[in-house]
């Protein structure tokens, strides 16, 4: 571990918007003593339709802000940024940087092992699908069967509106999935961190027993293990802090977000 950090330094998390809160929720559950700083780049949302160079530029500016806040590790809680900018961030920064694609593939393969279900469908943004980052990672992890991908760009703005469990969201999901056979059979890997916020809507369309997964829990455990190896787990008994930044005013009502963390959330607007 490098850099001027200590065990009590916060963990930085950033996303193009509010989707990364689904990752932060799992991180906070796995590491209840840790302090976190979250940044949602709402002013430049969405990342999924932007070029690699633009996503890399945006991601680096988000990372730099969090590094300036003294974070001891960085979680890129955005699949598009993980697909297009993660290697550059890992090369540039002197702290550990983790993305969400590799953990997502691990989660899907674990579910496959438990269920013996070989059919896997990845739902993601246009940028993530075009990058083929998930297809490449499945092959790297030894899965040679074909993987289907489906871009679902309308789900991000629905999540940003806070329509997590809404009839319109369910209609959009059904419209995306119905050409594939509805209800979808097989494992559904949510390859955008906004999509887990909509899990109730997914299950109303596909059924409560649908095989839906994402990588947040796997990532949380891997980051916890990494910090433990570097003696950077926070063992302080002080109440932990959750700090939230955004690059524009958020649209989602705060009570909906408060329910994710059982605490009041307040976003401070920052300029990148």
Q: Are 23 and 193 in contact (CB under 8 A)?
A: yes
**Out of 192, 206, 211, 232, which one is annotated catalytic?**
192
Three-state SS for 83-141 is: HHHHHHHHHHCCCCEECCHHHHHHHHHHHHHHHCCCCEEEEECHHHHHHCHHHHHHHHC
Task: Check if 192 is active-site.
Answer: yes
**Out of 27, 78, 109, 197, which one is annotated catalytic?**
78
Extract the tokens encoding 270. 């920052």
CA distance 133 to 137: 6
Phi, psi for residue 246 in degrees, rounded to 5:
-145, 160
Task: Check if 152 is active-site.
Answer: no
Extract the tokens encoding 204. 């109303």
State how far the alpha carbon of 40 is from the alpha carbons of 14, 77, 169, 183, in Å. Answer: 6, 10, 22, 33
CA distance 74 to 36: 10
Q: Which residues form the catalytic set?
A: 78, 192
């Amino acid at each position: 571990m490098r850099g001027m950090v200590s065990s009590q330094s916060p963990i930085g998390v950033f996303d193009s918007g509010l989707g990364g809160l689904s990752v932060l929720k799992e991180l906070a559950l796995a590491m209840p003593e840790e302090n976190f700083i979250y940044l949602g780049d709402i002013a430049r949302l969405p990342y999924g339709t932007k070029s690699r160079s633009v996503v890399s530029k945006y991601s680096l500016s988000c990372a730099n802000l969090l590094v300036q806040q003294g974070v001891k590790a960085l979680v890129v809680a955005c699949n598009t940024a993980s697909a297009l900018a993660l290697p550059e961030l890992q090369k540039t920064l002197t702290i550990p940087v983790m993305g969400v694609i590799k953990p997502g593939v691990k989660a899907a393969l674990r579910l496959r092992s438990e269920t013996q279900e070989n059919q896997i469908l990845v739902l993601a943004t246009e940028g993530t699908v075009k990058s083929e980052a998930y297809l490449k990672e499945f092959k790297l992890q030894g899965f040679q069967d074909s993987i289907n991908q489906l871009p679902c760009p309308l789900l991000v703005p629905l999540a940003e509106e806070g329509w997590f469990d809404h009839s319109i969201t369910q209609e959009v999901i059904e419209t995306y999935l119905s050409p594939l056979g509805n209800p979808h059979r097989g494992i559904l890997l949510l390859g955008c961190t906004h999509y887990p916020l909509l899990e109730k809507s997914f299950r109303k369309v596909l059924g409560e027993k649908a095989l839906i997964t994402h990588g947040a829990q796997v990532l949380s455990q891997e980051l916890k293990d990494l910090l433990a190896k570097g003696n950077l787990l926070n063992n302080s008994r002080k109440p932990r802090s959750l700090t939230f930044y955004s690059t524009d005013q958020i649209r989602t009502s705060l009570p909906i977000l408060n329910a994710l963390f059982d605490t009041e959330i307040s976003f401070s607007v920052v300029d990148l």
